[in-house]
Amino acid sequence: MSRSSDRERLTILCRDLWPSGSLASALALARWLTSGGPGNSVAVDVEVVSLWDGPWRAAFEATADVHVVNGEDGERRLGGTPWEESFDLDGVARPSTGPRRSRRRRVSEVVPDLLRDLDLRRAADGARGTLLRRRLARDDSPIWLAGASGARLLHYVPANRPVVVHHGEYADRPDHLPDLTPEDLALLLERPDGWIAGGERAGDDLRSWGASAPVAVVPDLLLLDETQPDCAEVRTRLAAEHGIDPGSPLVVSSGSIDWWDTPDAFVQVAWEVHRRPGHEDVRFLWLGEHSDRRMLWPLRHDIAHAGLGEVVHVACTSTATSPVLTCADVVVLSRRGTLTPTDLRGLEAIAASLVRWPLNGEAPGRRGATTVVPALDDRAMAEAVIDRLHEEQDPGSAGDATGVRNRHTARRVGPALLDVLRSTRCRA
């Protein structure tokens, strides 16, 4: 890795700053590298370049220099203001900085403006691309591409910079990503000088796809708080904010409010548990990641319509690894979409008991602190939750969580990742 003022440098490239497994690994790596330990005796200067903004920008800015290409950063370099495509009700694109146009316009008026707007966008894109190439040509330090979804950025990387691409444990194969063009995929096959696979399955995916660069299998890094929360304090706060009795059994889940995380499945599980005699005191809490009150009102409406207003509660949160999840009696992962290390491995590392759907065709069953129930079977999930609530705390559960933590912390994984970055050389 190149040095500047006796410090090594690393550039992290990513498609956006929205939570994902690869971005979680990148953020954990950046924090560990810039802190200079443990297990890392040399602090590293980290730069993050992202095509788009996202909720994790502030987290990265606390530890690295962040540049967003399609945002205020890029626009300031162009000497202008942010150009955002928006639409009138007639569907005509317009610059957000211009005057609002009438909804009723003749085609002869609309077409010239539309072509002008497209020309402005092409010009802005060209200027941003030039600035991005200059930024990435400033030195020859390694580049870490956080996930194949950011492959478009490889078009701007100079040939003298070694590129390592991270492919998460449960990430889709690159050729299954809908946003990548054939040109992006071709470059993704040939340009990287090395790959980091978050697990054996990810490594097999890359090899079967035809990745030409060496593949190193290193467990995904997780964003884990090293300190354990005070659960009595957490439950007191939940009582004050949501009226949840600190003595009531607590079942918690988390996810986006969007349909692919299916919060309605969590409500169905809550209804199944609540209607069983003797379980009226069980309380359920959904942590709506990166959601606000406006986004959450349909879910609250469904909860009230089901008569569960005092049973199921909804809160906004900015991270999946909330102290509430650590202090829950049972954590439920009722998402029907693709699981990622951010939610699965992260929950395994902090949850005393976890109930979830199967992953990648695995068979239902009990595995330490985790119970896997048949896919999409809400009643089976409710039964598993009840079974877990009636059990005394399994002494092995803490060991299970600790084992997952140790396998995925920067202290354990960071040195291996640093070795890959330092040893990777440009193949061209």
Q: What is the pLDDT of residues 319-353, one digit of tens each?
A: 545 688 888 999 998 876 555 544 566 677 777 88
Q: What contacts 244, CB < 8 A, 6 or more positions away? A: 235, 238, 250, 283, 285, 313
Q: What contacts 404, CB < 8 A, 6 or more positions away? A: 345, 348, 349
Alpha-carbon distances, residue 208 vs 172, 198, 215 (angstroms):
13, 16, 12
Alpha-carbon distances, residue 254 vs 38, 284, 321, 428 (angstroms):
31, 11, 9, 45
- The Cα 12–Cα 154 span in angstroms is 12
pLDDT at 163 over 90: yes
Distance of CA 272 to the CA centre of its chain: 30
End-to-end Cα distance, the chain = 17
pLDDT number for residue 426: 83
pLDDT number for residue 89: 26
pLDDT band for position 218 (50/70/90)? Answer: confident
pLDDT at 23 over 70: yes
pLDDT band for position 92 (50/70/90)? Answer: very low
pLDDT number for residue 230: 85
**CB of 326 within 8 A of CB of 351?**
yes
Residue whose C-alpha is closest to residue 281's, from 251, 248, 250, 252:
248
Greater confidence, 186 or 297? 186
Average per-residue pLDDT for the chain: 77
- Which of 89-98, 131-140, 162-171, 287-296 has the least mean pLDDT? 89-98
Which residue is it, tokens 């900015």?
318
Residue type, 141: S
Of 76-80, 185-189, 295-299, 333-337, highest mean pLDDT: 185-189
- The Cα 425–Cα 219 span in angstroms is 22
pLDDT band for position 258 (50/70/90)? Answer: low
- The Cα 33–Cα 36 span in angstroms is 6
Residue whose C-alpha is closest to residue 385's, from 343, 332, 308, 328:
332
Query: Checking DSSP bridges between strand 93-95 and strand 85-87, what pairing results, if any?
Result: antiparallel
Q: What dihedral angle (degrees, nearest 10) is formed by the CA atoms of 325, 326, 332, 334? A: 50
pLDDT number for residue 9: 92
pLDDT number for residue 317: 65
Distance of CA 1 to the CA centre of its chain: 27
pLDDT at 421 over 80: yes
- The Cα 186–Cα 210 span in angstroms is 11
Residue type, 276: R
- The Cα 314–Cα 294 span in angstroms is 12
- The Cα 295–Cα 258 span in angstroms is 9
pLDDT band for position 311 (50/70/90)? Answer: very high
- The Cα 35–Cα 49 span in angstroms is 20
